[in-house]
Amino acid sequence: MRNVLAIAHKELKSYFSSPIAYILLGFWALVYGYFFVVMMNFFVRQSMQMNQFMQGPASLNVNQQLIRPVLQNVTILALFLMPMITMRTYAEEKRSGTIELLLTSPLTDLQIILGKFLGALAMYALMLAVSLIHIALLFYFGRPEWKPIIVAYFGLLLFGGCFLSVGLFISSLTKNQIVAGIVTFVVFLLLWIISWIGSFSGPTIDSLTQYLSIIEHFEDFNKGVLDTSHVIYYLSVITLGLFLTAKAVDSERWRA
Amino acid sequence: MVEVQNLSKRYGRVTAVDDISFRVERGEIFGFLGPNGAGKTTTMRILTGYIPATEGKAVVAGFDVFDQPVEAKRRTGYLPETPPLYPDMTVAEYLTFVAKVKGVPSAERRERIHHVMERTRVSDMAGRACGKLSKGYRQRVGLAQALIHNPDVLILDEPTAGLDPKQIIETRQLIKELAGDHTIILSTHILPEVEQTCQRVVIINKGRVVAIDTPSNLTARLRGSETMYVQVDAGDLDAAPVLSRLPGVTRVVESDRRDALVGYEVESERGRDIRRDLARAVVTNGWGLLELRPTRMSLEDIFLSLTTEETPTPAVPAGEPVHA
């Protein structure tokens, strides 16, 4: 575990010693802030209209009418920014030869992979933390329910973990981080839009693609429903991604 | 300390390392000598557990590198051909990270880092980013990294490659100092380096062991004859027949020719100094003597003589004209 944390710490630090962390956090804050402001305006206008028609106190639910759509958009934002978190993890180490240091250190492959995954997850968690600032403002001015928010963020973390583990795997396949980034983005996109095909196919394919689409599983979290089947789905995808990474690293060793 | 038995590494149909066996004793400096692509790096990578062998066995510090990789790696320090530095980290940060992953207990970490930085003389660069270091410093930080967990076995892949002459001498000195506490395996393609630093040498060519011996034995074995290089201005005449007839000369080969200036390699019996005779012969014939010097046995020569041992090139008998 100490080894895992040492790698995770190094990974997290490496985001901040290059411009990547600042670009990620900056863009995240900017676009998330934009979403938030736009939705907030819309929400305020709707509330006012409701007020006028009903002549009573605002009855719009902040959780349902504001936080939920905002967090739904966060998943799309993540889709674009997440490849930047994982694209360099393995590719850069392979290109610069530092992978030789890691693989000849008294570490197991699993420790290295888990360390890298946790480092990436910590980076993503920091991005999520930035978005919590806006949510905190809602608590200052209103009274949103905090439990659904917790569940939704837990879902976001798991959802991001899936992308990160898949991204880690793709990064372990190449020496070129640009290639890793582009492939990761395309794969994420496919995992997101795969459910579209189901809408005009038969019910079997529909339910299958719904199940495969990583974003579909977030819906329930976003409603504040903690369904173990979704938790297990996300954990399975994360495990699969990490397993594939381990296999890729191991097979690379035999071919290298 | 290090034992390698019948080690082979194949990539598809290409054999990089072919049935290599050797032993390195505790505290020894063991040299890997060979041209580029001979299989030195591959062998070292197998020993450090970076890549697995196709066949054979390698035991480092009592642990099989394939069956007990973590234990073996804990006792091995490795400096790859390009030092594995993270360009964004400072030297101190880098060494701290390496100390952590190499399992140096946190209580000893500061002291170990300080010690290796002193030892490899990088203390003045502790706060500098690794990516901004000069080649010499990179190499030294790489060495510091290999030493940080005080390993039993040090494996250094061309530790002096790309350094300037002063740094080369310093690095060799450092390696010699380290030899007592650590068993060192180093690779190089520079012959004098092996002569100066190593106690034993294995010569590898095309993945095979050509010879294992002490440097002095190797050179002695190879120096069956002595060779002089002589450059003569003989006008239109051929000096080779004259030179071949000198007492003690076994073979004359024309090595280069520029207009009337012809250079010859003159081989003689071992232990016989033919320089005086050579000079006299050239001068009495009225030719110009432009250069006369003993030729060193270069690595290339050693390779040629070791790798072509089975099919020796036919030597030109003395007394006949030679056209190279």
Q: What is the pLDDT of residue A247?
A: 94
Residue-by-residue pLDDT tens, chain B, 324 positions: 899 999 999 888 888 899 999 999 998 999 988 877 888 899 999 999 999 999 999 999 999 999 999 999 999 999 998 999 999 999 999 999 999 999 999 899 999 999 999 988 899 999 999 999 998 899 999 999 999 999 999 999 988 887 888 888 888 888 888 888 899 999 987 777 787 888 888 888 888 888 888 877 776 666 655 778 888 887 777 888 888 888 888 888 888 888 778 888 888 877 677 888 888 888 888 888 888 887 766 555 666 666 655 444 444 444 444 444
Nearest to B261 by CA among B222, B220, B231: B231
Cβ neighbours, 10 Å, residue A39: 18
Domains B2-220 and B223-307 share a fold: no
Instruction: Please check whether residue B140 is in contact with residue B119, taking contact to mean a CB–CB distance below 8 angstroms.
Output: no
Instruction: Kindly state whether B192 is in contact with chain A, defined as any CB-CB distance less than 8 angstroms.
Output: no
| Residue A17: closest CA among A92, A82, A118, A81 | A92
- Residue B64 has what pLDDT? 92
Q: For the residues A80-98, what does the mean pLDDT come to?
A: 91
A15: chain B residues, CB-CB within 8 Å? none
Q: Enumerate the domain spans of chain B.
A: 2-220, 223-307
Is A14 part of the contact surface with chain B (CB cutoff 8 Å)? yes
Q: What is the pLDDT of residue B315?
A: 45
Polymer length in residues for chain A? 256
B84 near A CB under 8 A: yes
Q: For residue A84, give how far its alpha carbon lies from the nearest alpha carbon of chain B (Å).
A: 18
CB contact under 8 A, B50 and A7: no
- A104, B78: Cβ pair inside 8 Å? yes
Task: Give the count of beta carbons closer than 10 Å to the beta carbon of residue B130.
Answer: 24
pLDDT at A29 over 80: yes
Tell me the average pLDDT across A176-183: 93
Residues of A in contact with B101 (CB under 8 A): 3, 6-7, 101-102, 105-107
pLDDT range class, residue A113, cuts 50, 70, 90: very high
Are the beta carbons of A98 and B84 separated by less than 8 Å? yes
* pLDDT for residue A201: 76
Taking one residue from A and the other from B, the number of pairs with CB-CB distance under 8 angstroms is: 71
Label residue A53 by pLDDT band (50, 70, 90).
confident
Domain coordinates in residue numbering, chain A: 2-255
Helix axes B91-101, B106-119, angle to 10 degrees: 130
- ipTM for the complex? 0.86
- Contact at CB, A100 and B80, closer than 8 angstroms: yes
CB contact under 8 A, B85 and A98: yes
Between CA B297 and CA B295 the distance in angstroms is 7
The neighbour count for residue B78, using CB atoms within 10 Å, is: 27
Q: What percent of chain A has pLDDT over 90?
A: 52
Mutate to test the interface with B, among A100, A111, A251 (most CBs of B within 10 A): A100
Q: Flag if A18 and B88 touch (Cβ within 8 Å).
A: yes
Q: For residues A155 and A38, what is the distance between their CA atoms, to the nearest angstrom?
A: 23
For B103, name the nearest residue in chain A, comparing CA atoms only.
Answer: A106
Quick check: A100 and B88 CB within 8 A?
Answer: no
B48, B52, B70: residue with CB nearest A108: B70
Within chain B, where are the H helices? 40-47, 69-74, 91-101, 106-119, 135-147, 165-178, 191-197, 215-222, 240-244, 275-284, 299-307
B98 contact A CB<8A: yes
Comparison of pLDDT for A79 and A255, the residue scoring more: A79
When the pLDDT of each residue in chain A is averaged and rounded to a whole number, the result is 88
Q: Is the pLDDT of residue A52 over 50?
A: yes
Q: Of residues A210 and B300, which shows the higher confidence score?
A: A210
> CA A209 to CA A196: how far, in whole Å?
8
Indicate which of A10, A101, A116, A254 best probes the interface with B, i.e. most B CBs within 10 Å of its own CB.
Answer: A101
Identify all chain B residues contacting A1, using CB atoms and an 8 Å cutoff: none
Beta-bridge partners for B267 = B227, B251
- Chain A residue whose CA is closest to B70: A106
* CATH code given to domain B223-307: 3.30.2350.10
Domain B2-220 sits in which CATH superfamily?
A: P-loop containing nucleotide triphosphate hydrolases (3.40.50.300)
Asked if B138 has any chain A CB less than 8 Å from its own CB, the reply is no
Whole-angstrom Cα Rg for chain B: 25
Count Cα atoms within 13 angstroms, Cβ side, for B165: 1
